[in-house]
Amino acid sequence: MTDTEPTDTPPFDAARLAKAVRQRLQSLQRSGVSSIQTQTGQSVDLHQLQNQLQHIQQHGLPEVQSAALQPSADESDTTPVDTITNPPVTAPAPPNPTPATTPTPAPEPISSNSTTPSTAQESQVMPSKKQAELDIVCQEVADCTACVELASTRNKTVFGVGNANARLVFYGEAPGADEDKQGEPFVGRAGKLLNKIIEAMGLTRDEIYILNTIKCRPPGNRNPTPEEQQNCAGFLKRQLEIIQPEYIVCLGAVASHSFLECNTPIGKMRQQFFEKNGIKVLCTFHPAYLLRDPRRKRDVWDDIQFLMKDMGLPIPKKSEGVT
Ligand code: SF4
């Protein structure tokens, strides 16, 4: 036997290979390289490639790899969200109205391919430490009485749920009756619809994080007041500092306006990314609104596909993603 004699070939490990390639790409990016050329001369954006590799690292090779790299023409016509519930039965209502106050424009949108500061960070470290930090904030929320009315009427505080290392956070309005009972966001009918959207992305609730503008249910499901949102803003800030997501999807006008501090109609904020604290922010309609007007599901699916492309997630074919 020689030193070069072949040995048993180790099993193919896509996650390890993806990690190694990502590290090489990060090294290139630190050297100032933003794209590379394939053998056919095609330019490939390193940020997008990194996103795809990160997905492989976390989830293994996607079933529809070709769709991830080269979306076909008919994919833009796919509407998995349309299959979630019954066809529309009512006339479409206007997008969630904004109060008749002085318009505060949304911040300037950013390029969908721009790199956010958090993307450059290796946030996939020490999830248990992150969870421990979240647990401390969660306990503070449970003890909070800053909003006198909410603290005296709530059953449970609704801190948030999901993966402390999530790349993606869904940001909703405020807890409703079901959430108040269970202490978890998005568990009612709107929550079930959000689950379908998450599944259509090829993800699960365990892989993302879900939270709301405030942690306590406003009586009668009224909108949270600006003062209540202000009282709770510190908790949100600390949650996001711990999780360090790359993306936040604001669900509905209340969440979008609260997070981006504007009152631009939600219909004008869709299909583009904003940037806040190094996080890419996408705004779309709230699942509860889709229950009232199912025709808007197609708009939301368009927004979600816009997000998935930027995240490097494979777009499912028409029959995939939602059952
Ligand atoms: S909504 Fe937030 S700030 Fe207000 S009482 Fe609940 S936890 Fe405290």
Residues 36 and 108 in one domain: no
Task: Report yes or no on 216 lying in a domain.
Answer: yes
pTM (2 d.p.): 0.68
Task: Write down the pLDDT at residue 112.
Answer: 72
Task: Report yes or no on 279 lying in a domain.
Answer: yes
Residues 19 and 109 in one domain: no
* 279-284/247-251 β-pairing: parallel
Overall number of domains in the chain: 2
> What is the residue-averaged pLDDT of the chain?
78
Residues 250 and 212 in one domain: yes
CA atoms within 13 A on the CB side of 128: 0
Q: How many CB atoms lie within 10 A of CB 253?
A: 25
Is the model more confident about 8 or about 103? 103
Residues 181 and 34 in one domain: no
Whether the pLDDT of residue 190 is over 60: the answer is yes
Q: Is ligand 1 within 6 A of the CB of residue 141? A: yes
Task: Report yes or no on 86 lying in a domain.
Answer: yes
Whether the pLDDT of residue 176 is over 80: the answer is yes
Task: Write down the pLDDT at residue 317.
Answer: 74
Residues 241 and 173 in one domain: yes
Distance of alpha carbon 137 from alpha carbon 231, whole angstroms? 14
Write the CATH number for 197.
3.40.470.10
| H or E stretch covering 211 | strand 209-212
Residues 151 and 246 in one domain: yes
Classify 270 as helix, strand or coil: coil
Whether the pLDDT of residue 55 is over 80: the answer is no
Average of per-residue pLDDT across 106-121 = 64
Distance, CA 65 to ligand 1 centroid (Å)? Answer: 44
Is the model more confident about 34 or about 82? 34
Name the residue of 179, 228, 236, 237 to mutate for ligand 1: max ligand atoms within 8 A of Cβ. 228
Residues 174 and 126 in one domain: yes
* 168-172/35-37 β-pairing: unpaired
- Ligand 1 atom index nearest CA of 154: 6
Residues 126 and 227 in one domain: yes
Residues 56 and 139 in one domain: no
Distance of alpha carbon 175 from alpha carbon 177, whole angstroms? 7
Residue 25: domain span: 14-61
Least confident of 4-13, 113-122, 277-286: 4-13
**Each residue of 219-246: pLDDT tens digit?**
999 999 999 999 999 999 999 999 999 9
